[in-house]
């Protein structure tokens, strides 16, 4: 289970997250929506400790870490928490000098200390899972954007994380490449993977989410099942945001 309590993040005098509370049961999917600048990406980066929260508590699986503004967390505690989640970035962030296979192997070798032969076998299984076994020896510049993102998904899964984090995984893709990435994510949801997904793809959010959270101004505006949030939103700000999104889709 994933539990977040009182999570805040400030950059200098600017507060980006303002006391986020959330609970995510194992095997469920939480989709985070909201306008640009609402803190969605920062929330994911704080859960993965790519950004150190200012205060609050994050628990993923057996790892739990409390953040305080007056104390820097121990590196060992940060690494223990970070090992519990795999991140899929908006801009892929593959190592350009590594093949697809090497990119997927790297986390196993450096984070899990997996023997090379075992890491290679698992990486090949994951590339096959995302439909890229035949591109294992290709370098990122030889892959399409959709293929690079699928390698990124395989890489995130390679360390067997408790939680998969997706930061707008299709926003950098041409429209015709979006479908192949969303197909992989849907399959992961059907397998019971625990995931948090930041996306602007509302139709996809309705299909894949167990719960949807609207974030605005660094705070949770509303959270609920997709059928409730999209069809019967309680908050005026939710209704306003969804109406704007619908207008832009036409």
Residue 95 and residue 119: Cα distance in Å, rounded?
17
pLDDT attached to residue 201: 87
- Between the alpha carbon of residue 109 and those of residues 102, 123, 153, 200, the distances in Å are 10, 11, 17, 34
Strands (E), the chain: 2-11, 14-24, 29-33, 55-60, 63-67, 85-88, 163-167, 195-198, 211-216, 219-224
Query: Which CATH number among 3.40.50.300, 3.30.210.10, 2.170.120.12, 3.30.1240.10 corresponds to the domain 1-84+193-250?
Result: 3.40.50.300
Asked if 211 contacts 223 with a C-beta cutoff of 8 angstroms, the reply is: yes
Strands (E), 49-192: 55-60, 63-67, 85-88, 163-167
DSSP state of 133: G
Stretches where the chain sits below pLDDT 70 are: 247-250
pLDDT attached to residue 250: 39
* Domain extents in the chain: 1-84+193-250
pLDDT attached to residue 247: 61
pLDDT attached to residue 161: 93
Residue 177 and residue 145: Cα distance in Å, rounded?
7
* pTM of the entire predicted model: 0.91
């Amino acid at each position: 289970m994933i539990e977040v309590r009182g999570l805040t993040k400030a950059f200098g005098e600017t507060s980006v997250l303002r006391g986020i509370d959330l609970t995510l049961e194992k095997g469920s999917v939480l989709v985070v929506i909201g306008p640009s600048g609402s803190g969605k990406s920062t929330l994911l980066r704080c859960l993965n400790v790519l950004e150190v929260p200012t205060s609050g508590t994050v628990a993923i699986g057996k790892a739990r870490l409390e953040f305080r503004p007056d104390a820097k967390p121990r590196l060992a505690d940060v690494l223990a928490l970070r090992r519990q989640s795999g991140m899929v970035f908006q801009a892929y962030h593959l190592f350009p000098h590594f093949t697809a296979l090497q990119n997927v192997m790297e986390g196993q070798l450096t984070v899990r200390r997996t023997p090379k032969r075992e890491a290679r076998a698992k990486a090949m299984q994951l590339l096959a899972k995302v439909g890229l076994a035949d591109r294992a020896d290709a370098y990122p510049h030889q892959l399409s954007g959709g293929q690079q993102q699928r390698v990124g998904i395989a890489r995130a899964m390679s360390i067997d994380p408790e939680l998969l984090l997706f930061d707008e995984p299709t926003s950098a893709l041409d429209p015709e490449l979006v479908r192949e990435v969303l197909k992989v994510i849907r399959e992961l949801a059907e397998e019971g993977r625990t995931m948090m997904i930041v996306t602007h793809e509302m139709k996809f959010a309705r299909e894949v989410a167990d719960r949807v959270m609207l974030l605005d101004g660094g705070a949770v505006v509303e959270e609920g099942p997709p059928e409730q949030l999209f069809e019967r939103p309680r908050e005026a700000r939710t209704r306003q945001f969804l109406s704007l999104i619908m207008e832009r889709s036409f």
